[in-house]
Amino acid sequence: MMKKIFLRLITVLGLVAAGATHAQLRVEISGVGANQIPIAIAGFANESVAPAQVTAIIKADLARSGFFKIIDTGNVMSETSSINFDEWKSRGADALVVGSVQRLADGRFDVRYKLLDTVKSAQLSALALAAQPQFTRVTGHKIADDIYEKLIGARGAFATRIAYVTKAGNEYRLEVADSDGEGVNVALRSNEPIISPAWSPDGTKVAYVSFESKKPVVYVQDLVTRQRIQVANFKGSNSAPSWAPDGSKIAIALARDGLTQVYVVNADGSNLRRLTNTDGIDTEPQFSADGQSIYFTSDRSGGPQIYRMSASGGAAQRVTFNGTYSISPRVSPDGKALAYISRREGRFQLFVLDLTNGQEQRLSDTVKDESPSFSPNGKYIMYATESGRRGSLAVVSVDGRVRHRLTTQAGDIREPTWGPFMK
């Protein structure tokens, strides 16, 4: 029975074989927030000189968030333009965005913008950002982040990155992209499966499990230099890496001594220590936001459920009680919520548990969900699901109101992980 449970855990985390094409992800929005802020975004003056259209990026980011109603201005306005606030109020806009792009002598692009409150006839924010051509898109995301923070009151996460695994023919790829699915870069190609990618807290590295040695081995790869090291290559299965918040350690699941148990190892692969010692299967460890605890999946109660223990090991307390099958714990950045996949009536769906009051909420309406991952601001959860018998990525706000999906025309996408804020 325990072997079957373990195999099922691997299946839930695994990839479904399907053809794929290497392409940018397509965003499909299907839900919006309860209260949308009407915002007018004018075309940035002279933005055609840049390799990316900043205005379009800002509009797409804010629309995808679900919290903004975009009002098309139909004209171009720079940050120095004279503003008739009464006109914009009459057009239903509570806020107005204007800006410009200029090519500098050193080849960089200077992007300037202002965010204006049309109701109070006041300026809310202004930025001037100079970027190399390849980072023009990031500049647009940073402006959208600033708008989101000023109007919503929470830090925006548009200028962050995501990682995920695709399968094209016999090739698996670990890909890294902007949060909107654009700007795809391939970090690793392999003819064997790649699973369980996990970002380092500083966003420079990704830990993952590769089967290229015909067995699961945990690697850590530097995304800048592409150099990588083996963190865990022991007898049996090496799986489920999870970084400590300070980046010094990685929690992993190993079967080196028989049944899979939770261990912790330094990020360079040294100082391996065992944390659980049970007669069941303990796997999928995840550090809490403060690094003091580890959440993990265990079958010690008869079926897979989620438990919490001290980061140094010891006694564990059960966390999930609804349903007979709950796996893949992920803790919110503020430590107040737990996302996981639970099987109810034969459906594998995304749930979130409020750790402060014990209230549980189902966030998905699909049937084969996997691998939840919080956005770094804690406002959204990305997870893998299926669309037309192919793997796709879905995003839902933590209140369940805002939804969008990232897909490709063909292929299979799984194992998403949302990267941290970049410093």
34 Rama sector, left if φ>0, alpha if ψ -120 to 50, beta otherwise: alpha
Q: Are 204 and 223 in contact (CB under 8 A)?
A: yes
**Per-residue model confidence (pLDDT) at position 168:** 83
- Residue by residue, DSSP assigns 322-341 as SSS-EEEEEE-TTSSEEEEE
Between the alpha carbon of residue 155 and those of residues 149, 339, 375, 416, the distances in Å are 5, 20, 11, 21
Between the alpha carbon of residue 181 and those of residues 137, 172, 296, 313, the distances in Å are 12, 18, 29, 38
Measured over all CA atoms, what is the biggest interatomic distance in the chain, rounded to whole angstroms?
72
- Residues 196, 198, 204: CA angle, nearest 5 degrees: 145
**Per-residue model confidence (pLDDT) at position 358:** 93
Q: Please tell me the pTM assigned to this model.
A: 0.91
Q: What homologous superfamily does CATH list for 2-25+160-418?
A: TolB, C-terminal domain (2.120.10.30)
Q: Which fold has domain 36-152?
A: Rossmann fold (3.40.50)
Q: Are 409 and 399 in contact (CB under 8 A)?
A: no
Interhelix angle for 136-152 vs 54-65, to 10°?
40
Q: Are 294 and 275 in contact (CB under 8 A)?
A: yes
Domain chopping of the chain, boundaries? 2-25+160-418, 36-152
Q: Please list the rounded mean pLDDT of every run of 10 residues in the chain (423 residues).
A: 36 31 58 82 95 95 94 91 94 96 96 97 97 95 98 96 92 94 93 97 97 96 95 96 97 95 97 95 97 97 95 96 95 97 94 96 94 97 86 92 78 92 84
